[in-house]
Structures are given as C-alpha cells and as structure tokens.
Amino acid sequence: MKMVEAARRMNRTLLEMHIGMAFWGLVCQIAGALVMALCGYGVFQGRYALSLWFGVAFAFAGSIHMCRTLDRALLSGGNAGGIVTRGYLFRYFLLAAVLVIVTLTDTMDPLVFFLGYMGLKVTAYLQPITHKLCNRLFREEDPIPLSEEELAAQEGEIPAGQ
C-alpha cells in the first residue's frame, strides 16, 4: 500500500508515461528474445537486453527532464517558449551524443538502444490505456466535463437556470 500512496503523490502523467515505457520495454524484450532464439542469435541476447533497457532508462530520464522543463516554463511566464526550446535541444543533443558514444564503443547496439528510447514516443499512444489502468489502480474516476452552458454560467456570462 505504501507504493500506491507514493504513486498517488507522483505527477500522474509522468507515472502513466513510465508505466507505458516499462510496458514497451517488456514487449520489445519478449519479441527480441523470441526472434533471436528462433534465428539462432541467442549469444547476442545479453547485448540486446542491455541496449534495450539502457534506451528505456534514457527515455525515463528524458521524460523526467521534459516534465521539469515544462514546470519551469509554466512558472516563468514570458520566456516559456525559450525554456521549452532549450530543454528540447538539450535532450536531443544528449541523445545524439549518447548514440555516437554507443556506436563508437561498440558495447551496445545503437538501433536497439534507439528502439528502447522510442518508448518515449510510443507512450503517447499508450496513454489512454495507462490512464485507465491508473484510474482502476487508484480507484478514481475522471471528472465529468461541464457543458457549454455550465461553463458560461460559471464565468458569469449567462445567469444560471436560464
């Protein structure tokens, strides 16, 4: 129960992204292990797993950086566009540098690393599923959106009940 309470205090969107990235990593791990076993490349499974999970871990770090950058930008006011752009450029220059290092050192497979990092993108498509999963886990429901008339009445444009 302590883990559930800690997850409740965490940024909900970030939690949903991390769940999606972990799911993406598991799917890619299982698919890669099956393909390598069937094709006779079983000796490369360790390198595949290391590359994949390093990419997923890098995606986790990228999502945390993105969340913090957006929080900083929202609090800054006028310079928000510059803060978001600098954060974006930082993440992608860092990704490029890591890809170059991985390629030159030949310790991991750069394509599999990139496949793991793409979990950050896949998470956007999995978000409705992970959102429903988190709602069930925390026993919550999404609020019902207000109608146009209710919104206008709240803003004082139309008197309520007319």
4-44 tens-digit pLDDT: 565 556 677 888 889 999 999 999 999 998 988 888 777 78
The answer as to whether 9 is a domain residue is no
Task: Look up the domain containing 117 and give its range.
Answer: 16-137
Q: At what angle do helices 45-76 and 12-39 cross, to 10 degrees?
A: 160
Residue type at 5? E
Taking only the tens place, the pLDDT of each residue in 68-107 is 998 898 888 788 889 999 999 999 999 999 999 999 998 8
The answer as to whether 148 is a domain residue is no
Please report the pLDDT score of residue 16 as a whole number.
86
- Cα 127 to chain centroid, rounded: 9
Please report the pLDDT score of residue 131 as a whole number.
81
The answer as to whether 11 is a domain residue is no
Number of domains in the chain: 1
Please report the pLDDT score of residue 135 as a whole number.
80
Helix H segments across the chain? 2-9, 12-39, 45-76, 80-105, 110-117, 119-137, 148-154
The answer as to whether 94 is a domain residue is yes
The answer as to whether 37 is a domain residue is yes
The answer as to whether 4 is a domain residue is no
Is the model's pLDDT at 156 over the cut of 90?
no
The answer as to whether 157 is a domain residue is no
Residues 6+ apart with CB under 8 A from 95: 58, 62, 117
Q: Are residues 69 and 16 in contact, defined by beta-carbon separation less than 8 angstroms?
A: no
List b or e across 51-67, with b for residues whose CB sees 16 or more CB atoms inside 10 angstroms.
Answer: bbbbbbebbbebbeebe
Is the model's pLDDT at 141 over the cut of 80?
no
The answer as to whether 46 is a domain residue is yes
